[in-house]
């Protein structure tokens, strides 16, 4: 870095020479917010410079200010003020994450991935990372646990508007039952308390009577997910006292899944002095 470009100096840099940070934790940006910020910058100028570091003769890498940089590009500004720094990779990643945590509400999974990345770059323990990020160790550990959800489950949470606490509730379940739980939480717009009750109910379900398709029958992923969802619905019915039963057969390249649901409540246990009456036959539903 030349004397003319000392760390801490504010430079007017061409927007075209500033590259995005490879350590940006945020993966989704609100286009409406960026557009509103661009209008504000056009009217009032960029009130807070972005922070960059030099990576080449005429190239700079963004450290903090991704939203501001995107808004400046949208506003078609040629040059913007930037604070020059001399941070290394680990410092750049940490500063970018901290800015996102302090300035705007990050997606919980983006936060978890950002924390995991700075731990890798710092090569430190969770306890040390928590101290440096200003978090308690349990809070940091809880955020990292969210990454135990599959990418599809994470996307389900984001698309369904579920919070970090909804996701943590689902993590109490075995991996194979989390998707069905998250889908119901999102579909029914459950509160966190309702989500916890749902998980408690699922965990209390008998474990000694697996559904007929939960054995070793080979299935592609999408089919297995659909069958697991069906079986979860049957589990909920049986927990409510509806004596639904299922059967599953595979013939001629097809999977036949049958659900038998009684049309009337189960009859009371008859007195031994009276004749027994057969209950009404259940209806069969083929899927």
pLDDT of residue 281: 33
**What are the backbone dihedrals phi and psi of residue 6, each rounded to the nearest 5 degrees, phi first?**
-80, 150
Look at residue 206 in the predicted model and tell me its pLDDT. 56
CA distances from 101 to 44, 76, 96, 232 (A): 25, 28, 9, 37
Q: pLDDT > 70: what percent of the chain?
A: 73
Q: What's the gap between Cα 46 and its chain centre?
A: 33
Backbone phi and psi for residue 101, each to the nearest 5 degrees, phi listed first: -65, -35
- Cα within 13 Å of Cα(41), Cβ side: 25
- Cα–Cα dist 236/249, whole Å: 22
Q: Choose among 173, 3, 189, 162: nearest CA to 181.
A: 173
The 10s digit of each residue's pLDDT in 228-269 is 777 777 777 766 667 666 666 666 667 777 777 877 654 443
The burial class, CB within 10 Å (0-12 / 13-18 / 19+), for 53 is buried
pLDDT per position as a tens digit, 186-216: 999 999 999 999 999 888 865 544 555 554 4
pTM: 0.52
pLDDT per position as a tens digit, 88-116:
777 777 777 776 665 556 688 988 888 88
Other beta carbons within 10 angstroms of residue 177's beta carbon come to 20
Residues with catalytic function? 66
């Amino acid at each position: 870095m030349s004397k003319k470009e000392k760390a801490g100096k504010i430079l007017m840099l061409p927007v075209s020479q500033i590259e995005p940070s490879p350590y940006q934790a945020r993966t989704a940006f609100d286009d409406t917010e960026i557009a509103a910020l661009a209008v504000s910058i056009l009217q009032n100028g960029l009130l807070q410079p972005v922070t960059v570091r030099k990576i080449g003769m005429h190239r700079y890498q963004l450290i903090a200010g991704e939203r501001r940089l995107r808004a400046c590009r949208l506003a078609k500004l040629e040059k913007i003020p930037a604070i020059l720094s001399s941070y290394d990779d680990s410092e750049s990643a940490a500063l970018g994450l901290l800015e996102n945590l302090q300035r705007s509400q990050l997606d919980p999974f983006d936060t978890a991935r950002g924390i995991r990345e700075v731990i890798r770059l710092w090569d430190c323990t969770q306890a040390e990372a928590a101290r440096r990020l200003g978090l308690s160790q349990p809070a940091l550990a809880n955020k990292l646990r969210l990454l135990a959800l599959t990418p599809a489950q994470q996307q389900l949470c984001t698309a369904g508007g579920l919070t970090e606490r909804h996701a943590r509730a689902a993590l109490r379940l075995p991996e194979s039952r989390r998707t069905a739980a998250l889908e119901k939480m999102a579909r029914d717009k459950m509160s966190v308390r309702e989500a916890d009750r749902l998980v408690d109910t699922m965990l209390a379900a008998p474990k000694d009577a697996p559904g007929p398709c939960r054995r070793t029958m080979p299935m592609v992923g999408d089919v297995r997910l659909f069958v697991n969802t069906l079986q979860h619905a049957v589990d909920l019915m049986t927990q409510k006292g509806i004596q639904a039963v299922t059967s599953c057969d595979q013939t001629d390249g097809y999977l036949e899944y049958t659900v038998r649901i009684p049309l009337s409540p189960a009859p009371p246990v008859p007195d031994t002095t009276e004749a027994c009456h057969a209950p009404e036959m259940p209806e069969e539903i083929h899927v």
